[in-house]
Amino acid sequence: MSQYRPLSAIVLAAGEGTRMRSGLPKVLHPLCGRPMLLHVMDALVALPLERIVVVVGHGAESVAKTLQERLVTEMPVEIVEQRVRLGTGDAASVALTAKGFDDDGEDDLLVVAGDTPLLRPETLAALAREHRASDAAVTLLSAVSDPTGYGRVVRDEQGRVARIVEHADASDAERAITEWNTSIYCFRRGLLAPALRRLQPQNAQREVYLTDAIGVLRDAGHQVSALAAEDPGEPVGINDRAQLASAEAVLRRRINTAWMREGVGITDPERTYIDASVEIEPDASVLPGSILAGRTVVARGAVIGPDTQLVDCIVGEGAVVRQSVAEEAEIGDGATVGPFAHLRPGTRLGARARIGNFVETKNAELGDGAKANHLTYLGDVEVGERANIGAGTITANYDGKDKHRTRIGRGARIGSNTVLRAPVEVGEDAVTGAGAVVTRDVPPGATAKGVPARVDEREPGEQEG
């Protein structure tokens, strides 16, 4: 009979992952812009858990820092370290020393590997329900597919789970079994601790396997259950970069499908890359070859792409960004960017501003309706509303030692091939002639022309004598 018990979780994230051939801890390798461990944590925090305990080992400091800085949850999360890595059974024993686990243990405990980023909360919830319904000491999540490399689920004559045998320790007959253990479990915590104390490292790796607790509990007369995953690809662990790429493709399809169901237009999902942390409003469109990464936010009606990369950008309502790259930039409502533009960090475009082909900006603010349509570099600059920047304009912002700012006033017109040597200010409605090298401030309404530029401060409409 199903019985409610509090539910907590252990995440085993201490492994080195030598097959990744990387100095980065395996569980920190990113998928869709998020470390694989955080995908696992996201699935867990979606459940009504009492607490989560994460066991770290290899790269403990960086793994712990990632959890502390990037995991957003009000659920209690404790990090414990497995200082000597003696296997998954030992890691589970270390986890049980965490705060909040009393001696009675009248609760249930999910045990999940930190390298299973495709896990869904619905699958973990189903595992917990099956565990309670069967009143088992342990319920394991199994899968039926190619079992190569995984522990086999060995059943008795009645079809009940008898034990798990690891691939390296399996006989030929056992390796022929197609039901494999995903290393994801739901235990009665009060029964897990004494079972772990009985484990011995009698295997090829000389480690204490958590899987051996299955046989210990069954031999003690306890019920052992199994739930087969509906999708055998979901609980697969990531051990090398080829598997990492395969998992990323699955996550990318999930993300794109979810956004399309929310009203986002994606014309070619197979060529569209959207990080898990991106936010998109309905009626936005993402065209083929586009990459939306980091904390990018795209407003309603915006069009991104084709062949565009946005990293940590904010794109306003109805804006268009075509065949361009932008990082840490804000693009205002109705603004247009590209093709072939590069917005570097600190760029802020006002409403209806225009950045055209082969224009680069850095730490640049363009007011509403300002335009730089061709072949221009705007670095460390403030451009006023409706100012027009001619083709080939350069803000010479670096003197070899320090960066300096340029200010271009509202309604100013900067002639083609103008060089603005910062620090310099061009006033409202001022004009620079084609090819001018501006080294001094230009007053409002004045004209600067020549090399170096001379300022003509005649009143508008005044004729030469």
Annotated active-site positions, please?
374
H or E element: which one contains 56?
strand 52-56
Read off the amino acid at residue 91: A
Phi, psi of 62 (to 5 degrees): -70, -35
Amino acid residing at 74: E
Residues 6+ apart with CB under 8 A from 254: none
CB neighbour list of residue 184: distance below 8 Å, 6 or more residues apart: 110, 111, 112, 113, 116, 119, 124, 127, 140, 141, 235
Q: What is the 3-state secondary structure (H, E, C) of 231-264?
A: CCCCCCCCCCHHHHHHHHHHHHHHHHHHHHHCCC
Query: What is the helix (H) or strand (E) element at residue 77, kind and residue range?
Result: strand 77-81
CA–centroid distance for 152 within its chain:
33
Q: Output phi, psi for 324, to 5 deg.
A: -140, 170
Residues in the chain: 465
Q: What is the DSSP letter of 334?
A: T
Cβ count within 10 A of residue 398: 12
